[in-house]
Amino acid sequence: LSQAEIIDPAVKGTLNVLKSCVKSATVKRVIVTSSAAALFFTGKPMNQDSVVDETWFSDPMICQERKIWYQLSKTLAEIAAWDFAKENGVDMVTIHPGLVIGPFLQPSLSFSVEVILNLVNGNKSSPLSHFSVVDVRDVAEAHIKAFETPSASGRYCLVESSVPLSQVLGILHKLYPTLPLSDKCGEVDIMNLPGFGVSKEKAEGLGIKFIPLEESLKDTVECLKEKEFLLF
């Protein structure tokens, strides 16, 4: 997809929904599904001691320079949404999940689940060297709690674990010792970020009890088996 094909629908689609909400007499609060991609790309130095939280904003210029259009689309869509919400008095909350894994309902694979499938199959290198992961069930619960909790406000990071590829592979090997796991990271890491932490404090304050990474990975693989994407 081209830059325009990714960015225009993200920004215009978000604004169209918000405009409809303003016209409605019954909508009290809007929950926007953003992404951790709108947090991580600030341009400031990061290392394993860095902890990303809700005060971090990706810099559109950094995203543009690196030609990471998905991350740019999420960043621009969030900026546009907050500008619109403030101008029009919309009570809005944004949710920022990392790589979303766990059991899935749709017949096709998302990028996130496909990354796990390729690791387990062992036939493709990983596009990521570092994983900031959250379970889809926690993402769903966060949306509900953000909607139902009167005091919920602003932005919420949603990342259960932020770990290197080696740790993800270690968990998968422990769960499925006979599988031919891929231990290769692609030559081009699409995120190109060092190891870092992500704060869970605000999300936990909303009542989110994060599903552990090992459980999420196991349930992802079991769902892939159930839907016959994996045969073993």
Q: Active-site positions?
A: 74
Q: Which long-range contacts (CB under 8 A, 24 or more apart) does 27-31 make?
A: 28/91, 29/91, 29/92, 29/93, 29/146, 29/147, 30/85, 30/90, 30/91, 30/92, 30/93, 31/92, 31/93, 31/94, 31/95, 31/143, 31/146, 31/147
101: enclosing H helix or E strand: strand 99-101
Name residues whose C-beta falls within 8 Å of residue 75's C-beta, 6 or more positions apart in sequence.
37, 38, 41, 57, 58, 59, 60, 63
Residue length, the chain?
Answer: 232
Q: What angle do CA 80, 81, 84 make, to 5 degrees?
A: 85
DSSP-assigned letter for residue 28:
-
CA nearest neighbour of 155 among 34, 72, 52: 34
